Amino acid sequence: RKEVEQDPGPFNVPEGATVAFNCTYSNSASQSFFWYRQDCRKEPKLLMSVYSSGNEDGRFTAQLNRASQYISLLIRDSKLSDSATYLCVVNMRDSNYQLIWGAGTKLIIKP
């Protein structure tokens, strides 16, 4: 089993719809969690940190479920510009880094 797993997709979603995808992690000692977005042939960019209490930024909501060991990303009212690959990353350490990246979920928003 991979340490961090994501459904590779692609998720084909009509514009305006709501879409959600998860990322599971195997190490219960994982400390911090993030969602990054990567456009085609570009570098990854931070989308959101994922806090224990969950967090929301506009149309995007991220949640952490430690009991079931997964994080989720919800996108409401999806836009064409949301088309990208969404990468989750888990840091195993608090004082330093031990980063495990998921392979990414590809999202395609269709008009």
Partner 1 sequence: DAGVIQSPRHEVTEMGQEVTLRCKPISGHDYLFWYRQTMMRGLELLIYFNNNVPIDDSGMPEDRFSAKMPNASFSTLKIQPSEPRDSAVYFCASSTKFSPRTGHSTDTQYFGPGTRLTVL
Task: Tell me the Ramachandran region of residue 94: left when phi exceeds 0, alpha when psi lies from -120 to 50, beta otherwise.
Answer: alpha
Tokens of 74: 């919800």
Q: Of 57, 29, 91, whose CA–CA distance to 102 is shortest?
A: 91
Q: Among residues 63, 78, 102, 106, which is the contact residue for partner 1, using CB under 8 A? A: 102
Minimal distance in Å, beta carbon 76 to partner 1? Answer: 24
Minimal distance in Å, beta carbon 101 to partner 1? Answer: 5
Quick one: 78 or 102, whose CB is closer to partner 1? 102
What's 46's DSSP letter? E
Quick one: 11 or 34, whose CB is closer to partner 1? 34
- 103 part of the interface to partner 1, by CB under 8 A: yes
Minimal distance in Å, beta carbon 46 to partner 1? Answer: 5
Quick one: 42 or 79, whose CB is closer to partner 1? 42
Footprint of partner 1 on 22-81 (CB under 8 A): 32, 34, 42-46, 49
- C-alpha–C-alpha distance, residues 6 and 91, integer Å: 16
Quick one: 35 or 78, whose CB is closer to partner 1? 35
| Cβ contacts of 86 within 8 Å, gap of 6 or more | 6, 21, 35, 36, 37, 38, 47, 73, 104, 105, 107
